[in-house]
Amino acid sequence: MSDVVEKTLTVLPSLLSLDSQPGSAKLSSTSKLGNLIRGITELTSKHEEEKLIQHELASIKEQVSSPNTSMRQMKELMVRAIYCEMLGYEASFSYIHAIKLAQQGTALEKRVGYLAVSLFLNESHELLLLLVNTVLKDLQSTNLIEVCMALTVVSQMFPKDMIPAILPLVEEKLNHPKEIIRRKAVLALYKFYLIAPNQVQHIHNKFRKALCDKDPGVMTASLHIYFQMIQENPDGYKDLTASFVTILKQVVGGKLPMDFNYHSVPAPWLQIQLLRILSVLGKNDQSTSEIMYEVLDESLRRAEMNHNITYAILYECVKCIYAIHPKSDLLEKAAKCIGNFVLSQKINLKYLGLKALTYVVQQDPKLALQHQMTIIECLDHPDLIIKRETLELLFRITNAQNVTVIVEKMLEFLHTSKDDYTTIDLVAKVAELAEKYPSDNEWFIETMNTVFSVGGDMMQPDIPNSFLKLLSEGFDSVEEDKKLRLFAVDSYVALLQGEPGKLPQRFLQVISWVLGEYSYLREELEPATVLRLLAKLLDMKNTSSETKTWVLMAMTKLCEGGAGVSVAREVSETYSSSLDTVLRQRAQELQHLSQDSELRARVIPRDAGLEPLEVDSSLSFLDGFVSEALAAGAAPYKPPHQRQEELAQAKALSLEPYGLSLPISMSSCSIADRQSPTLLSMSSGLSGDSTDLSHKGGSTTLKLDGVRRVWGKEGYLVQREPVEEVAQVEVPSPLRSPSQQGEAESSHSQTPTPVPTPEPEQEKQQLASSLFVGLGSQSSVCLMGKSEPTPQRFRRKAKGPGSSPCASEQISNSLVSASSTVDKLLCDNLLDSNVTSELPVSSPTQTSHLSENLSTANGTCDVELTDSDIKGSNPSLVRDNGVAVAADPAPHEDPDGPKDLCLSSHLPAELAGLSHSEITPLCSSQNLDLSVCHVQKKDSLALVVFIYNSSDTDIQQILLELDSGELEVSCVCDSPVQELRSHGVAVCQYSLTVRRPSVHVEVVGIVSYLLPVGTRQSAQFSYRLPLTSFIRPLTVSTEEYGTMWLAFSNDTKQNLTLISDGQESLTATLNVLRKKLQLHVVEVIGMEGIVACQLLQDQPCLMHCRVHAGTLSAWLRSPVPDLPDCLIYYCQRALQEH
């Protein structure tokens, strides 16, 4: 029956409408839009067009606001308004009518209304709020087309705050019988996930259902969400790998309906999406990667047709193969693919080949060697894009030997490039290379000069900063430093004598700083000459006032002796009446200091660049001021996020009918908060809350762990990075020995550029040899952020492990004295580098320092202690009350059961009454058995270690050392255990406090002892404790709670499950938490409750709970970073276990 109906009705439209063919809706020549368009095309000038459009807009405006306009006319008007907007004329008056049309129109009118809305407005537009109701209505409509339209508009834009209003409806659509609706619903959820991830957290299992949808379209759509989620948390979705592989296998095998083929390739979009997901999943994960090798191989094999779409798949395959755990035969095939791309005549493929090469050259530098001639050709390609990509590739393979040639090529490109973005990017790269591989002073300074003059004022501010830092901190030898500085001074004096007016401001600032600081090095150069040169800069018209301050600073450093003072006086007189306060201040300084040479010598000591200056970033010197202000009734400082939050709470729309209000504010602030712990600790550090500060300790100094440092105080720091497995695959053995390499390098630096020969081919060969020199040997390839297994030989070596990472905290004295601007810039710079510290690069000084740290932190783990060591150190083993307690002499057959009992009898008297944790064996060696338990005291946590001598001989010189990264371990008694009788038990007691909260804290230790035969034995152990052992209830009143709440800055929010649904669910849940985690319930009011606890010692954490929609929204705050996160973890677990 349905067939008949179908057949009848498919012809229905042609009966019903005259222009039923969709394509025949061609030129509706009589329409007003048609007239408008034709009118525009007939015009000859831009001015006429403007007039016509303005006229048109005026008439549209009149009509839309007229009450007699029907919806159908409105539709027509809207289309015209869209057209006018597209031409670049504003038609904002029509926005509201577009929304109205979407609301009131039927079918097509609605469709046009929605279209107009999606074209006119963007996500943050306030009018979008008016659309919410319309969308809501349409989502509930029985008309599929209307639902489709609503979902389409929702997936393009929707106000973030209003998501809860429509979320249930969209979720519901996931079960819709029509696949088009399901697909659009999935995409709408994807959009929600992108703009407000925590709002869709609870529907993750539904995503999984979408992934299993029987319709390939819906499944494909769900992959967008999965790709996003997997990128954020690859570990959470490893279990899906096999499913993705299965899907890909089926797609590649052609199991999908023919509809999804594109140029006879099965579902290429789906394939590429899957490959991207797999590459994220397989990254650094061998076992996961192994699952996908087969399907990758098959994909490579199947994609053989000569069409763009197969190349697209191949390209993605190659990217995936290089991203996951390497497999040699796949790598080989991928390398072949890249070769085909690079050699291809099609320019698009060539480009992608180069891009792929850039990507893989980090892992396999040989590949670049194979294609060197192609690369050389591309370097002279007429298409700038190809050229640019080639330079990118060269940048990745730069080493000390080819740096001059590559930098030359880059500078060449820079001179021709007109695009600002390219210039900024390339300039930064040149500067990086020049600093990393300075072949000699002259080259370095000249390259940097070009960088400054080409990069001008667009380049990133850290380039001049790091350059100045480098100059001031110097390198290995004093002689070298002097030469470099002298060369810089000479070169700058020459520049200033030329045409300084053409130089960019940043460059002038650098010049004036260097001259101010180092021009004394050139003895024959009179300070007065320099002063005059600098004064000339001040007179130039286009010199910015910032540059002028730099110049004045430099003059302050230089004004010495007769002629200089007079120049200085003249200048300072001019500027001491300047309107710019900074300039005026500098002029004043110049005036005073030029007159009082003694004072000047004290304020600006010459060559004090290396003297460290402590910077108190916590601003603790302001504490007094702050407390005074507080006492005088000033409001306490609140960090910006907290202020915003309060503002939001006060002002935000009440979203009660739609959903949670707490999660909404969460989305606006908690994301940013959690991701930037450094920022947080900074802001709270600045809050002037002194208790806050004392808790943190570490946050008062800049955190520089893991900051990539290429240049240290002593110059270039040789990079030694953790060797990644990836790079170890098929790395060729070094072609030359390091010493030979060194020779080559030095000879190279004498003849930096190859002499061009007339034959072009030969020239290319030569260029190739200079570009790819040293590439074969792994030691000299610069791998961006990748491993560099052997240290680079370098002219300027690091001084050794003498400098600590703290060095960079100390900003050189002279820099600060020189200019507060420099100071600020440098600070910024440090902070910046702090932020971008994820790079897995660490300098040797750092590594050595780290390893020192490690060895001190973990005790001497792997090192067998020698006798002298023991004498030198202060052993921390104690006997209980100073006496080794005698154990019952009989050795046990079964060491565990009875021994446990007897061990507990050895608990120190003061702990005996308290409940202790299970006594767990720690380690046992030939003669000693160690067991441990912890005892929760009211104000501390005691760790008790039992040492049991299981041998028949006495054991001498027992030494027990404990340490922990997260804990402070202190020994309760300090008399060490010296010896232990046969089958005796010694007890050591430690008290633990938390230094840095983490979910589990671990104590590691080593015990060593002397056997009767005279040899020393040692054993290691570790003991893990939950953080809950350190949690104690905190008894506070509600008022105290309130003040504390405002003062704390680290917070976390999460929804917890309630343990029952009844009326008393909140109390019941809180009771569970109280019992299990020792929290103190401060007060329960209605559906809200406040809870407090403290981490030993005196580190409070507050929790605010609110029952909403069947869940418990918990909000935790504490002055201690990480503590809320850890605590919420335990709350979750406690409630789950319940």
Partner 1 sequence: MQFMLLFSRQGKLRLQKWYVPLSDKEKKKITRELVQTVLARKPKMCSFLEWRDLKIVYKRYASLYFCCAIEDQDNELITLEIIHRYVELLDKYFGSVCELDIIFNFEKAYFILDEFLLGGEAQETSKKNVLKAIEQADLLQEVRRRCRDASQCAGGNWTDINMLLLLLIIIIIHSPHTPSSASYSAVCS
- Residue-by-residue DSSP string for 1093-1130: EEETTTEEEEEEEEEETTEEEEEEEESSTTHHHHHHHH
According to DSSP, residue 1062 is labeled S
* Cβ–Cβ < 8 Å for 736, 777: yes
Provide the minimum distance between the beta carbon of 783 and partner 1 in the complex, in angstroms, as a whole number.
Answer: 19
Does 422 interact with partner 1 (rule: CB under 8 A)?
Answer: yes
Per-residue contact string for residues 533-562; x = within reach of partner 1 by CB under 8 A:
------------------------------
CB of 146: closest distance to partner 1 in angstroms? 9
| DSSP state letters, 992-1006 | EEESS--SEEEEEEE
- CA dist 1089 and 387 (Å) reads 64
- 213 or 473, CB closer to partner 1? 213
Q: Which is nearer to partner 1, 97 or 191 (CB)?
A: 191
Residue 285 makes CB contacts below 8 A (sequence gap 6+) with 234, 238, 324, 325
- Which residues lie below 8 Å from residue 544, measured CB to CB, with a gap of 6+? 505
In contact, 321 and 313? CB cutoff 8 Å = no
H helices, E strands: number in the chain: 50, 19
Tell the smallest beta-carbon distance from residue 489 to partner 1 (Å).
Answer: 38
Distance separating alpha carbons of residues 1026 and 966, to the nearest angstrom: 12
Whole-number minimum distance, CB 349 to partner 1, in Å? 8
Closest to 440 measured CA to CA, from 747, 664, 152, 721: 747
Nearest approach, Cβ of residue 721 and partner 1 (Å): 24
β-strand partners of 970: 991
Q: How far is the CB of 486 from partner 1 (least distance, A)?
A: 40
Q: Is 785 in the site for partner 1 (CB under 8 A)?
A: no
Beta bridge partners of 1116: 1052, 1103
Binding test (CB under 8 A) with partner 1, winner from 97, 100, 111, 409 = 111
Q: How far is the CB of 406 from partner 1 (least distance, A)?
A: 19
Of 141 and 1017, nearer to partner 1 (C-beta) is 141
822-851 residues in contact with partner 1 (CB under 8 A) are none
Counting residues that bind partner 1 (by CB under 8 A) gives: 107
State the Cα–Cα distance between residues 696 and 692, nearest whole angstrom: 7
Q: Which of residues 1019-1078 bind partner 1 (CB under 8 A)?
A: none
Applying CB under 8 A, does 221 fall inside the site for partner 1?
yes
Residues 69-108 close enough to bind partner 1 by CB under 8 A: 79, 82-83, 86-88, 90, 106-108
Q: In the complex, what is the shortest distance from the CB of residue 752 to partner 1, in angstroms, rounded to a whole number?
A: 29
Kindly tell me which residue out of 309, 525, 816, 850 binds partner 1, with binding defined by CB under 8 A. Answer: 309
When binding is defined by CB under 8 A, the residue of 45, 66, 124, 739 that contacts partner 1 is 124
Q: What is the spatial distance between Cα 28 and Cα 37, in angstroms, rounded to a whole number? A: 11
- The neighbour count for residue 486, using CB atoms within 10 Å, is 16
DSSP conformation class of 521: G
Which range of residues in 11-19, 533-541, 896-904, 1033-1041 is near partner 1 by CB under 8 A? 11-19
User: 539 φ, ψ to 5°?
Assistant: -80, -15
d(CA 1116, CA 94): 46
Distance separating alpha carbons of residues 1095 and 1123, to the nearest angstrom: 8
**Contact range with partner 1 by CB under 8 A, out of 117-125, 331-339, 993-1001, 1074-1082:** 117-125
Q: How far is the CB of 533 from partner 1 (least distance, A)?
A: 39
Distance from C-alpha of 627 to C-alpha of 637, rounded to nearest angstrom = 11
Smallest distance from the beta carbon of 353 to partner 1, in angstroms? 11
Map the footprint of partner 1 across residues 223-282, applying CB under 8 A.
Answer: 224, 242-243, 246-247, 250, 255-257, 259-260, 262, 267-270, 272, 276
Site residues for partner 1, 381-420, by CB under 8 A, read: 382-383, 385-386, 388-389, 419
Q: Is 302 in the site for partner 1 (CB under 8 A)?
A: no
Shortest distance in whole angstroms from residue 735 CB to partner 1: 34
Residue 415 C-beta: closest distance to partner 1, Å: 19
Closer to partner 1 by Cβ: residue 143 or 970: 143
Tell me if 13 contacts partner 1 by CB under 8 A: yes
**What is the C-alpha separation between 615 and 918, in angstroms, rounded?**
48
The whole-angstrom separation of Cα 447 and Cα 432 is 11
Restricting to residues 137-196, name those near partner 1 by CB under 8 A: 143-145, 148-149, 152, 155-157, 177-180, 183-184, 187, 190-191
Q: Which of 48, 123, 725, 896: binder of partner 1 (CB under 8 A)?
A: 123
Closest CA to 886 of 796, 802, 810, 948: 948
Closer by beta carbon to partner 1, 383 or else 974: 383
Cβ(1029)–Cβ(1003) below 8 Å = no
Residue 1009 near residue 1016 (C-beta atoms within 8 A): yes
Which positions from 25 through 44 interact with partner 1, judged by CB under 8 A?
25-28, 33-34, 37
Establish if 1082 lies at the interface with partner 1 (CB under 8 A): no
**Which CB sits closer to partner 1, 127 or 610?**
127
Q: Minimum distance between the CB of residue 347 and partner 1, rounded to whole angstroms? A: 5
Residue 65 vs 122, nearer CB to partner 1 = 122
Q: Per DSSP, what are the bridge partners of residue 1113? A: 1055, 1106
Say which DSSP state 878 is in.
-
- Alpha-helix runs per DSSP H in 402-477: 403-416, 420-436, 441-455, 462-473
Summarize the chain as % helix, strand, coil (round to 5): 60, 10, 30
Site membership for partner 1, residue 486 (CB under 8 A): no
**Residue 316 contacts partner 1 per CB under 8 A:** yes
Q: Which is nearer to partner 1, 189 or 604 (CB)?
A: 189
Other beta carbons less than 10 A from residue 1009's beta carbon: 25
Interacting residues with partner 1 between 347 and 386 (CB under 8 A): 347-348, 350-352, 382-383, 385-386
DSSP state of 718: P
State in angstroms the smallest separation of the CB of 119 from partner 1: 7
Residue 1106: C-alpha distances to residues 467, 628, 1029, 1114 (Å): 54, 37, 26, 7
Q: What element of type H or E holds 710?
A: none
Assess 58 for contact with partner 1 (CB under 8 A): no
Q: What x/- string results for residues 889 through 918 when contact with partner 1 is judged by CB under 8 A?
A: ------------------------------
DSSP summary character for residue 132: H
Q: How far is the CB of 1124 from partner 1 (least distance, A)?
A: 32
Contact segment (CB under 8 A) with partner 1 among 311-319, 828-836, 909-917, 1069-1077 equals: 311-319
Report how far residue 489's alpha carbon sits from residue 504's, in angstroms, rounded to the nearest whole number: 18
User: Could you say whether residue 668 binds partner 1 (CB under 8 A)?
Assistant: no
Residue type, 418: K
Single out the segment in contact with partner 1 by CB under 8 A; choices: 306-314, 913-921, 961-969, 1100-1108: 306-314
In angstroms, what is the minimal distance from the CB of 767 to partner 1?
23
Closest CA to 240 of 250, 251, 229: 229
> Quick check: 471 binds partner 1 (CB under 8 A)?
no
Contact 331, 364 (CB under 8 A): yes
Torsions phi, psi for 781 (to 5 deg): -85, 135
Pick 182 or 506: Cβ nearer partner 1 = 182
Give the nearer residue to partner 1 in terms of CB position, either 280 or 568: 280
CB closer to partner 1, 9 vs 912: 9
